[in-house]
Each structure stands twice: as structure tokens, then as C-alpha cells.
Amino acid sequence: MKVYILGSGIGGMSCAAVLANKGFEVTVLEQNSYFGGKAHRISEEGFEFDTGPCLLTYPNWFEELFNTCGKNLKDYLGYQRLDPITRYFLDNQHVDVASDIKQTAINFENKLGLKKIVFLNYIKRWVRIYNISEKIFLLNELKFNFFFLKNAFKWIFKAGVINIFTSVAYYNKVLKNKAVEKIMNRFATYTGSSPYKTPAFMNQLAIVEMINGGYYPKGGIHGISKALFKLCKDVGVEFQFNYKIDNIKHQSNLFKIYSKNEVIFSKYLVSNID
Ligand SMILES: Cc1cc2nc3c(=O)[nH]c(=O)nc-3n(C[C@H](O)[C@H](O)[C@H](O)COP(=O)(O)OP(=O)(O)OC[C@H]3O[C@@H](n4cnc5c(N)ncnc54)[C@H](O)[C@@H]3O)c2cc1C
């Protein structure tokens, strides 16, 4: 069965590999002349720059993806856990977020004057909320049905209504420490949002990095794109580059994929264009 995937970013290639491995005949259509999407790389005067993402979280999800395709991630990509994960430069000093949260709390106390216990209690609360979100949303299929609504209400009840009606920056004032508030506000920008406008529940993104850890893929984040491209090739995915989709229509159980030169008809389509 033929399926078209639109976009050769990390998402598109992951999907392409899984479907090809399941026996679909997969073609990825990509407007650029290269794969990777945001996780691309540019070279200038002997230096190489990742164009977007720089920190890997959840390498185990990549491991799972490669395992699903009968492959071992280690044969495609090496990575290492970072310690420290991040270094923040604030008014002539710096402070490290370590891979151990207790060490981070000590660093914040010693350098920024926030009591360890205050920070650890703050983190404990968001770990609890994150764990609920992970179970309900991240590890479940997102379908807008009765079960989704039931779980969404459960989440609101457990996470607390206050986290929906206050902003990240407003909530973080509980820390009563401007420097640490600034650090914790940063996580709202993960989604390109402003901490002053984003609901406080986005604070749980801090848990992804501060508790679950940050990783460095060998060769930078573009190494992930390269690994996925190779995986795709190994399981038989076809790529068409310089192929810009102008429009998609769905009629009579068929997708019509419009580009400059042709219209493709397909029963199956996955769009992962941004
Ligand atoms: C500055 C920045 C920093 C980031 N930092 C991190 C980080 O440190 N860690 C992290 O995990 N995440 C980070 N992210 C997020 C991460 O980059 C994205 O979540 C991820 O790369 C998205 O992958 P994707 O495949 O969903 O989309 P994309 O990478 O956007 O891929 C979409 C693809 O679709 C193609 N496309 C679009 N329109 C068309 C069309 N009309 N026809 C054909 N093809 C089309 C595009 O060319 C592209 O290749 C960062 C993002 C940015 C921008």
C-alpha cells in the first residue's frame, strides 16, 4: 500500500521509517533540497552550526523507534548524558543546572540565595503534574473522544485549575527569587511562547530537562536527522526533494496532493509540514 509523507523533518522521517517497516510503500515529499527540517546544519568557513534544536531529551524514544524498525540506535547514533545540562549567565556570574536535581538546588542556594528546600518543593510539585500529563497525554493516542475528555478533566482536577488561569511567570513568583524565576521562565520558550502569556502548566517542561536529563548526540543534533535518514533508507523509504506541496484536498476517499507540476492521488497521507 502506498503512503505519502509530507516533510522530511524529524517527525516526518520517524513516521516514514515506522510505516515502511510495517510494509507500506513510503515516499517522503520535501520542499527543501535536504532532509532534517528544523534539525538541519549549515557550514560556514570551516565551522558547522545546527540550525535549530541543540539539546536532546528522551533518547529512549529514539531507541524505541529504532527498535520498532528492528534496528539498534547505537549503530546509527551515539549520545551522552550531559552534566551540567545548562549554564546560565546572570549579572557577572554563572550557575549550572546539574544532571542531579539536588546538586542544582545546592547551586541555586550557593550562588543565587534560594533555599534548597524551596526549590526542591517547587520541583516536586511539577514532577507530580508532569507524571500525570505524561500518562494521560504523551503516552496515549490523542483522540478527541469521551476518554480524552474524561482524562482531560482528571488532569485539570489533579494539576489544579490555577495552572490554567495563571501564567508561567506569575506562578513562578512563588519562588521569590528573581534569578531563579528567570531561569524557570525559560522553559515556556521551548514552544516559542512568552512566559508572561503561557499558562503555568507549561512549567512542567522544566521536568523534561532538569529531571529526565539533557543529552548530546555525537556530531550535534543534525546527527539525529542523519541517523533517521539512514534508517529510512535502510527500510526502503523513497525521498523526493525540491518538491513543494501547494495544496492538499480530500475528496471521495482520496487525497489530492498539488505541486507545481503535478497532482498526486493517494488513499493514505501523513502531513508533517510545519
Ligand atoms: C530555534 C529552535 C530551537 C529548538 N531547540 C530544541 C531543542 O534544543 N531540543 C528539542 O528537542 N527541540 C528543539 N526545538 C524543536 C524541534 O526543532 C522541533 O520540534 C522539530 O525539529 C520538529 O520536527 P518536525 O519534523 O515536526 O518539523 P520540521 O523540522 O519543521 O519539518 C517540517 C518539514 O516540512 C517541510 N515542508 C514545509 N512545508 C512544506 C511544503 N509546502 N511542501 C513540502 N515540504 C514542506 C519543511 O521544509 C521541513 O523539512 C527547537 C526549535 C527551534 C526553532
The 10s digit of each residue's pLDDT in 43-69 is: 999 999 999 899 999 999 999 999 999
* 138: confidence class by pLDDT, cuts 50, 70, 90: confident
Compute the distance from residue 192 Cα to the ligand 1 centre, in Å.
Answer: 12
Nearest atom in ligand 1 to 38's CA: 29
Q: Is residue 163's pLDDT more than 80?
A: no
> What pLDDT is recorded for position 34?
97
* 269: confidence class by pLDDT, cuts 50, 70, 90: very high
Specify the pairing of strand 254-259 against strand 245-251. antiparallel
Mean pLDDT of 183-210: 92
- Report residues whose beta carbon is within 6 angstroms of any ligand 1 atom: 6-12, 29-32, 37-39, 52-55, 57, 244-245, 272-274
- To the nearest 10°, report the CA torsion of 255, 259, 264, 267: -20
Is the torsion defined by CA of 78, 227, 213, 134 positive or negative?
Answer: negative
The alpha helices in 134-245, defined as continuous H runs, are 146-159, 162-165, 168-171, 178-185, 205-210, 222-234
> What pLDDT is recorded for position 146?
81
CA 36 to each of CA 60, 227, 243: distance values in angstroms, whole numbers, following the listed order: 20, 10, 15
Residues 183, 20: Cα–Cα separation, whole Å: 42
Q: Whose CA is nearest to atom 38 of ligand 1?
A: 273
Q: Which of 36-40, 76-80, 145-149, 186-190 has the lowest mean pLDDT?
A: 145-149
User: Among residues of the chain, what percentage have pLDDT more than 90?
Assistant: 80
* Helix, strand or coil, per DSSP, at residue 147: helix
Compute the distance from residue 60 Cα to the ligand 1 centre, in Å.
Answer: 20
Specify the pairing of strand 263-266 against strand 245-251. unpaired
Mean pLDDT of 230-259: 97
Q: What is the mean pLDDT of the chain?
A: 93
Max CA separation in the chain (angstroms): 66
Residues 257, 249: Cα–Cα separation, whole Å: 7
> What are the grid coordinates assigned to 255, written together?
487525497
Residues 152, 79: Cα–Cα separation, whole Å: 35
